[in-house]
Chains A and B, each alone.
Chain A
């Protein structure tokens, strides 16, 4: 599909493209939602009809061009329609993280000057009602699920059903309103404002135009061959540019089907039922999948376990050789089909990944072991490098040119350059129109036409981009040894027992690590050994658990031995944290990136203790519950020295 031509031919906004899809293939399924135990399907003509009704409803409440609509909730067809409906009227949708606490919501809703909010359910309505006073621009709250809201009498609360009725009435008096407003849209209108969670400071709203997203989607289709018969699962937060790009922009441009799971807790079974052909997941999801697989293998009977382990090792060895451009031994190649029959095929089927043609990991660097594991099963996982500011995509692994340690080559239309300081710079048709109401931040990022990514990296001989770490995180130990914290943390996180890790060492004599255990995996491990525990904190401080984690640290150190540059940065001491790092406590972002600065400050006492001679350190920490209340947790944490 020639997307440039499309934009020239006047199909230059998403509402126009939705209308086009409804003409091209009216009966093809556009979006599904599992509700009441059944996958309910909506075709492209349903999609258009729903967008039209919601848009007219919003128009009847007075949504004018340039107005913002906050969109908050799990991935629901109705919310994607609300995005398109807002765009159809020349408004700007602003998706927000559904698990954001009131303070975060208030900041963004107020900063974006949202006049409307379309939300999923009572939970979100309650949050908005609490913060409405702080958001003077917010006039109407529209909710999809009326449950529990019957007794609410606020006049500005409107059910989606009621909104659509209002739209129908409005349409009788203004029969051509929707079409007229859609026709007024242009390619350079702002299509969406995505607030980036940001590992530092307050969120910034990146403005992306229809042209940005349509051209980027078109380039991705050209490079990756997305077809209209793809099935994708929409399960990542709508506020994340990755979901907006794949489940909305790409789906509308290519015409493929998006599937919304029943609830956050049913994503894995729903994944299996849908059997997507494309799958997009941040490293965290791949890690979780791997952990689940590992736990189940350990629980299996001895002969099964040995068989599975043998074939998994075989496949991983072969895959590692293939990625390293080395020959694979004949006996391995001969045994692989048997492994596919006995292990890889059933496992893929079990994961719901039998039909996957293309899978991506993005958002953060993935542990090489995790990457190899999934590829070795025959799942075409590829790395992708992108940012909100680039309409999600910058570089991607081409099929047949996948490397372990790179994030691929630039997407068509994207130019990449490395600055003197080693920072990755890029420019592309997807480059955003700046941060909403924050020209200072915009100027910091766009300089002389290039976007400064903030990532340290380089282009290798074959034009592949390699990302080392966040530019500001790569640092040196006191003796000058190079130390890349994320690299170590990813290695630690390959262990199913380690959920999160934070390594410190800048200007210190050695590297130390704060480690979060994975409650499911370590809990299961402890149960099988008859180790009793009462809580996460209790489990984390068991000497046996320290021994377990110690082994993992030793494994990481051993693998560093092979690396000439990073050999000096082995982990000397570690402790296991008494609580999980949590976005509600601002320790990690909603996309689960570690906020180093904040952690260094909050856990300064722990970090100092890691560089002292103490064997343990007492801690008292504030925790924020899901409803925003706070409490304190007390514990005495052990410090363990790693064997060398």
Chain B
């Protein structure tokens, strides 16, 4: 779906700043994400991590800087168009349709792929039927992949939190994204659920060749699964590099331990 030759980075964020009134949430942040990479964005509370995800997925627009995806500038696209380009995301607070089944929730992720014709769909006939079957088959692959067969028909709102997170991941995967944005995929999970989620993230990356950008607080998770780590603090990128280097970086330690900032 992309027009890249596969050599350049998949996503480039160049000098992006975001302002909420007087608050500078992001200040000239630049980063690049390569094809098939798992990049973690870390930083203390309020560092601008979620804002950065929101800019990439088109919820916010930067007042300066550019965002290039698959070689094309798309700084000012709307979320729906961003999704159409092959970027999917999950949210920090689970955002599922509580009354709908797991299956239907994941099916909504396919909307982006659907070619609609209201009449044919209402009649469930002809191309509408074969399209529905194709989508369903793909969704079933995801259900199998995430090992949620047993809750296929359960309303999402009745599931425990860890499973809801997994269903949300499934919905994002249903859009067959090239780039997957995960906002705190492990938040509020117990150790076992975290281990499961880690395995799913690695498997998604491995199996579907999906590039992943994730925001996460749990440092052990970040160190385990990411190829590269970007550290934000007060809206600035303070460092980036492989987990082993970032772990020992003095500026990172200072940021987390709260050394006074001379700004």
Q: Does A292 contact B (CB under 8 A)?
A: no
CB atoms of A37 and B152 under 8 A apart = yes
Chain B residues contacting A296 (CB-CB under 8 Å) are none
Q: How far is the CB of A458 from chain B (nearest CB, A)?
A: 44
CA distance A150 to B209 in the complex (A): 11
Q: Does A148 contact B (CB under 8 A)?
A: yes
Stretch of B3-11, B198-206, B247-255 on the interface side:
B198-206
Chain A residues contacting B140 (CB-CB under 8 Å) are 36-38
Residue in B closest to A267 when the chains form the complex, CB atoms:
B150
Chain A residues contacting B203 (CB-CB under 8 Å) are 147-148
Chain A residues contacting B149 (CB-CB under 8 Å) are 37, 262-263, 265-266
CB atoms of B202 and A148 under 8 A apart = yes
Given the interface pairs A37-B140, A148-B199, the reply to whether A266 lies near B150 with Cβ below 8 Å is: yes
CB atoms of A147 and B150 under 8 A apart = no
Q: Mark A232-273, 1 if CB is under 8 A from B, else 0.
A: 000000000000000000000000000000110110010000
CA distance A150 to B141 in the complex (A): 18
CB atoms of B147 and A263 under 8 A apart = yes
Q: Does B219 contact A (CB under 8 A)?
A: no
CB atoms of B141 and A36 under 8 A apart = yes
Q: Mark B167-208, 1 if CB is under 8 A from A, else 0.
A: 000000000000000000000000000000001001100110
CB atoms of A150 and B152 under 8 A apart = no
Q: Which of B120-169 contact A (CB under 8 A)?
A: 136-137, 140-141, 143-145, 147, 149-150, 152
CB atoms of A35 and B144 under 8 A apart = yes
CB atoms of B145 and A147 under 8 A apart = yes
Residue in B closest to A37 when the chains form the complex, CB atoms:
B140
CB atoms of B152 and A147 under 8 A apart = no
Q: Which of A496-547 contact B (CB under 8 A)?
A: none
Q: How far is the CB of B238 from chain A (nearest CB, A)?
A: 31
Chain A residues contacting B207 (CB-CB under 8 Å) are 147-148, 150
**Most chain B CB inside 10 Å of its own CB: which residue of A37, A265, A266:** A37
**Most chain A CB inside 10 Å of its own CB: which residue of B149, B150, B203:** B149
Q: Mark A113-147, 1 if CB is under 8 A from B, else 0.
A: 00000000000000000000000000000000001
Q: Does A341 contact B (CB under 8 A)?
A: no
CA distance A265 to B145 in the complex (A): 15
Q: How far is the CB of A372 from chain B (nearest CB, A)?
A: 31
Chain A residues contacting B150 (CB-CB under 8 Å) are 262-263, 265-266, 269
Chain A residues contacting B202 (CB-CB under 8 Å) are 148
CA distance A265 to B149 in the complex (A): 8
CA distance A37 to B143 in the complex (A): 9
Chain A residues contacting B147 (CB-CB under 8 Å) are 263
Chain A residues contacting B199 (CB-CB under 8 Å) are 148
CA distance A262 to B153 in the complex (A): 14
Residue in A closest to B145 when the chains form the complex, CB atoms:
A147
CA distance A91 to B143 in the complex (A): 37
Q: Does A151 contact B (CB under 8 A)?
A: yes
Q: Which of A151-165 contact B (CB under 8 A)?
A: 151
Chain B residues contacting A36 (CB-CB under 8 Å) are 137, 140-141, 143-144
Chain A residues contacting B141 (CB-CB under 8 Å) are 36
Chain A residues contacting B143 (CB-CB under 8 Å) are 36-37
Q: How far is the CB of B128 from chain A (nearest CB, A)?
A: 20
Chain B residues contacting A269 (CB-CB under 8 Å) are 150
CA distance A169 to B101 in the complex (A): 46
CA distance A265 to B206 in the complex (A): 26
CA distance A265 to B203 in the complex (A): 21
Chain B residues contacting A37 (CB-CB under 8 Å) are 136, 140, 143, 149, 152
CB atoms of A150 and B144 under 8 A apart = no
Chain B residues contacting A35 (CB-CB under 8 Å) are 144
CB atoms of A150 and B206 under 8 A apart = yes
Chain A residues contacting B152 (CB-CB under 8 Å) are 37
The one of A148, A262, A263, A266 in contact with B206, judged by C-beta atoms closer than 8 angstroms, is A148
CA distance A263 to B149 in the complex (A): 7
Chain A residues contacting B144 (CB-CB under 8 Å) are 35-36
Chain B residues contacting A265 (CB-CB under 8 Å) are 149-150
Q: How far is the CB of A159 from chain B (nearest CB, A)?
A: 14
Residue in A closest to B103 when the chains form the complex, CB atoms:
A37
Q: How far is the CB of A382 from chain B (nearest CB, A)?
A: 30
CA distance A621 to B147 in the complex (A): 32
Q: How far is the CB of B104 from chain A (nearest CB, A)?
A: 13
CA distance A86 to B207 in the complex (A): 30
Q: Mark B84-124, 1 if CB is under 8 A from A, else 0.
A: 00000000000000000000000000000000000000000
Residue in B closest to A261 when the chains form the complex, CB atoms:
B149
CA distance A37 to B141 in the complex (A): 9
**Most chain B CB inside 10 Å of its own CB: which residue of A35, A36, A150:** A36
9 cross-chain CB contacts under 8 A: A35-B144, A36-B140, A37-B136, A37-B152, A147-B203, A150-B206, A150-B207, A151-B206, A263-B150
Sample of 16 more A-B contacts, CB < 8 Å, known A38-B140, A147-B145: A36-B137, A36-B143, A37-B136, A37-B140, A37-B143, A37-B152, A147-B203, A147-B207, A148-B199, A150-B206, A151-B206, A262-B149, A263-B149, A263-B150, A265-B149, A265-B150
Interchain residue pairs A-B with the least CB separation, the first 5: A265-B150, A36-B140, A37-B140, A262-B149, A266-B150
